Amino acid sequence: MSHKPTLRNPRLESAGLDSWIVRLFEDIDEHNLPWLSALSRRCEQAFGDALIDLVPSYTTLLVVFDPLMVSPSQARVLISRILVDLEPEDSAHAGEIHELQTWYDPSVGPELSRVAKHAGLSVNEVIDAHSQQVYRVFALGFAPGFAFMGLTDPRLECGRLDTPRRRVPPGSVAMAGRQTAAYPTATPGGWNLLGRTNARLFDRERTGFSLLRVGDQVRFVPVSREEFEREGGDTTPMEPLA
């Protein structure tokens, strides 16, 4: 990922009567983010009240609009005009910076030892490596408020669990491959659990619902059990993996 992608042949793919997928790139690259962020911002301006949702991913942006206000062909024209002179956002438009207080402990992070063994490190070294990195939010998906972040320290790269859990508690901090995330709600999941954060990642009362947005920067800050409990964190131990 040492190269910086340029916009070559963006494509529009129909995703129904109310949405278009804009495919900017073919390969996952952290340098895609400024382009996707710029496209999102320009779509917000161009569609105005007709815009229903924007769903960015690693290489694409799903644009969902109100077909009673804008027809699919009109939406295609709007997006095509944006793509003609689209430029990546500069640092002045960088996302927000978030520090998520995290309690790293085997009782809530049962894969700490698995990742440590795989990496040839101690559990404390895994915690240090994971918490010292500043991550970028690459995409939102899987569940509301679930942010895919990267890239982790290459030493920590570890595959998903062979058997996913039926229920991962909200706030669980996890990693798979070189990605990391925190589960916003209780869902099934097969990532390696390292700990738990007390951050409210998804809130229906919050504008936009999700705490994290594509392009944001995130750091997991280790805290003691006492600090975690004091801030309202749930210390309920994980059940054994069935």
What's the token pair of residue 157?
A: 């790269």
Predicted local distance difference test score (pLDDT) of residue 161: 95
Q: Please, are residues 180 and 219 in contact by the beta-carbon 8 Å criterion?
A: no
**Residue 214 vs residue 100, higher pLDDT:** 100
Give CA–CA dist 224/233, Å, rounded.
11
**pLDDT average, residue stretch 202-216:** 84
234 CB burial (10 A radius; 0-12, 13-18, 19+): middle
Q: Please, are residues 195 and 182 in contact by the beta-carbon 8 Å criterion?
A: no
Structural element, H or E, at residue 225: helix 225-230
Q: What's the pLDDT band for 120 if we cut at 50, 70, 90?
A: very high
Provide the phi-psi class of 232: left if phi over 0, else alpha when psi is between -120 and 50, else beta: left
Give CA–CA dist 17/115, Å, rounded.
45
Give the bridge partners for 180, in sequence order.
Answer: 149, 175
Helix (H, G, I), strand (E, B) or coil at 136: strand
Using alpha carbons only, what angle is made at residue 108 by residues 202 and 191, rounded to the nearest 5 degrees? 65
Domains of the chain (ranges plus CATH)? 11-93 (3.30.1360.40), 97-230 (2.40.100.10)
Taken as a whole, the chain contains a residue count of 242
**pLDDT average, residue stretch 177-206:** 94
Predicted local distance difference test score (pLDDT) of residue 127: 98
**pLDDT average, residue stretch 61-90:** 94
- Residue from 16, 19, 62 nearest 39 by CA: 62
Predicted local distance difference test score (pLDDT) of residue 8: 77
Q: What's the pLDDT band for 150 if we cut at 50, 70, 90?
A: confident
**pLDDT average, residue stretch 29-34:** 82
| % of the chain residues with pLDDT over 90 | 71
Q: Please, are residues 182 and 174 in contact by the beta-carbon 8 Å criterion?
A: yes
Q: Please, are residues 191 and 173 in contact by the beta-carbon 8 Å criterion?
A: no
Q: What's the pLDDT band for 178 if we cut at 50, 70, 90?
A: very high
Using alpha carbons only, what angle is made at residue 1 by residues 12 and 55, rounded to the nearest 5 degrees? 35
Predicted local distance difference test score (pLDDT) of residue 64: 94
Predicted local distance difference test score (pLDDT) of residue 196: 98
**pLDDT average, residue stretch 219-223:** 98
Predicted local distance difference test score (pLDDT) of residue 74: 97
pTM over 0.85: no
Predicted local distance difference test score (pLDDT) of residue 93: 54
**pLDDT average, residue stretch 24-29:** 84
Give CA–CA dist 242/112, Å, rounded.
18
Predicted local distance difference test score (pLDDT) of residue 2: 43
Whether pLDDT at 242 is above 70: no
Structural element, H or E, at residue 182: strand 179-182
Give the bridge partners for 165, in sequence order.
Answer: 189
Predicted local distance difference test score (pLDDT) of residue 1: 45
Q: Please, are residues 31 and 138 in contact by the beta-carbon 8 Å criterion?
A: no
Predicted local distance difference test score (pLDDT) of residue 27: 82
Whether pLDDT at 86 is above 90: yes
